[in-house]
Amino acid sequence: MFSMRAKPPQDDGDIRAFLGEGTSFSGTLQFEGAVRVDGQFEGNVSGSDLLIVGETAAVLANIQIGSLVAGGRVEGNVTARIAGRASTDGPSIRNHQNIKPGRARRSDSQRQL
């Protein structure tokens, strides 16, 4: 499980798709530009740009995107730049990041001896 909480931006001017509060969807979401989810989504998400998860949202998905701003609940495997607080139930190591339950730590793999 991977969960985060942060206030997503409220400027919806550049959002190309929107899943509103009280709406649920299961499947695959592929996108360019910014997408905002305030409802419930389960499945796979891929795109090169921004996914905004609103405070009322619940997303259970494998996510591979450019950036993630999460105000609601996000569970699944996430590959993205993340804005917000992140936590994990187990260790996760990707691109020199080591995130352990309750804390985050960055380690550099290239050190001079």
pLDDT tens figures, 78-107: 888 776 666 666 555 455 454 544 444 444
3-state helix, strand, coil in the chain (%, to 5): 0, 60, 40
Give how far Cα 66 sits from Cα of 27, 57, 74, 89, Å.
Answer: 20, 19, 16, 23
Q: What is the pLDDT of residues 8-63, one digit of tens each?
A: 455 555 898 999 999 999 999 999 999 999 999 999 999 999 999 999 999 999 99
Cα 113 to chain center, whole Å? 36
Which residue do the tokens 């998905």 mark?
61
